[in-house]
Amino acid sequence: MFILLGEESLFWVYALAKLFDRIVWVFSLALTAFIIAYVWYITVPSERTIDTNMPVIFGERILLPLPRKVSELTVEEAILLRRSIREYTNEPVNLSDLAMILWAAYGITEPKLGFRAAPSAGATYPLEIYVVIGERGVKYSEGFLAGGIYKYEPHSHTLTLVKGGDYRGELMGASLGQRWVGEAPLSVVICAVFERTTWIYGERGRVRYVPMEAGHAGQNIYLMATALNYGAVVVGAFDDGLVAKIINSKPEEKPLYVIPIGVPRSPPKTSFEDIWEYIKSRR
């Protein structure tokens, strides 16, 4: 038996059929997108699923081990043992330790507001941090990090390769031949984009706030390096233009510090008892 439909009924049947087709099409598209996303999620390493104790290397980008408590040394002990160390062994620096040193220098300490480990005038954060790594200068579980110039990104806690090669000799030459720059397995180079601060504070930012901030970051590097049984020394005597050329920094990024870091040949051994005796003898 056939049912004859009028024109209006046929119109609605046609409209419903078109609507159904559209719903099926949208559902199919959504399902396809979900399948693609799911396959990507289970096959591509994610920053949310990595072992936070281990680095993950994606070509030129290194996801550093996440910040954590790593030292049994107290703040007081780190301050007591902090020295300017210029003599290093041939031992490399652990990548996990380098990650902590970089975090201590300028890493994120307050995620909601993006505050960092070093205080900054107006939270303008003018500093940019590079790392000059020598061949076999930094080790991790699978071997050694490739020698080269790397840049630190605080928000993602990553290193990105700027250019490959061992530039320690060139950096030593640019640092007026100071041999500890060439002998250390790595050097941290702190640069500043002064305009980030001076547009608010004017010349005071250039002559006071930005250099002070570099000093804060430098002291943090000292203390974390000490806590992890490394030695460091801050270097300010260098050719600014040559250092900038070596690290391939942007024109607005001006070098302020070169900080060699390595395992000290003679670790400091001062005790609090030594300090007590010194103070008592002068009272």
pLDDT band at 126 (very low <50, low <70, confident <90, very high): very high
| Identity of the residue numbered 3 | I
Q: Is the pLDDT of residue 280 over 60?
A: yes
Instruction: Please give the pLDDT value at position 55.
Output: 74
**95: Cβ contacts below 8 Å, ≥ 6 apart:** 55, 62, 64, 65, 138, 139, 140, 145
Sorted by where each begins, the domain ranges of the chain are 1-44, 56-262
Q: Is the pLDDT of residue 47 over 70?
A: no
Backbone phi, then psi, for 68, in 5-degree steps? -165, 170
pLDDT band at 12 (very low <50, low <70, confident <90, very high): low
Instruction: Please give the pLDDT value at position 43.
Output: 45
Q: Is the pLDDT of residue 151 over 90?
A: yes
In the chain, beta strands by DSSP E? 56-58, 61-63, 93-94, 108-110, 115-116, 127-133, 138-140, 143-144, 148-153, 158-164, 186-192, 231-232, 254-262
Q: Kindly state the average pLDDT of the residues 266-274.
A: 95
- List, as one string, the DSSP characters of 217-272: HHHHHHHHHHHTT-EE--B--S-HHHHHHHHT--TT-EEEEEEEEE-BSS-----H
**What is the fold, at CATH topology level, of the domain defined by 56-262?**
NADH Oxidase (3.40.109)
Average pLDDT, the chain: 90
Q: Kindly state the average pLDDT of the residues 168-193.
A: 99
Q: What is the pLDDT of residues 54-101, one digit of tens each?
A: 678 777 899 999 999 999 999 999 999 999 999 999 999 999 999 999
Percentage above 70 pLDDT, the chain: 83
pLDDT band at 123 (very low <50, low <70, confident <90, very high): very high
Nearest 10 degrees: CA dihedral of 141, 266, 170, 97? 30
Task: Give the residue, 54 or 175, on which the prediction is more confident.
Answer: 175
Q: Name the β-bridge partners of 132.
A: 149, 187
How many other C-beta atoms lie within 10 A of the C-beta of residue 165? 14
| Identity of the residue numbered 20 | F
Q: For residue 120, give the nearest of 192, 38, 213 by alpha carbon.
A: 213
Instruction: Please give the pLDDT value at position 46.
Output: 47
How many other C-beta atoms lie within 10 A of the C-beta of residue 47? 12
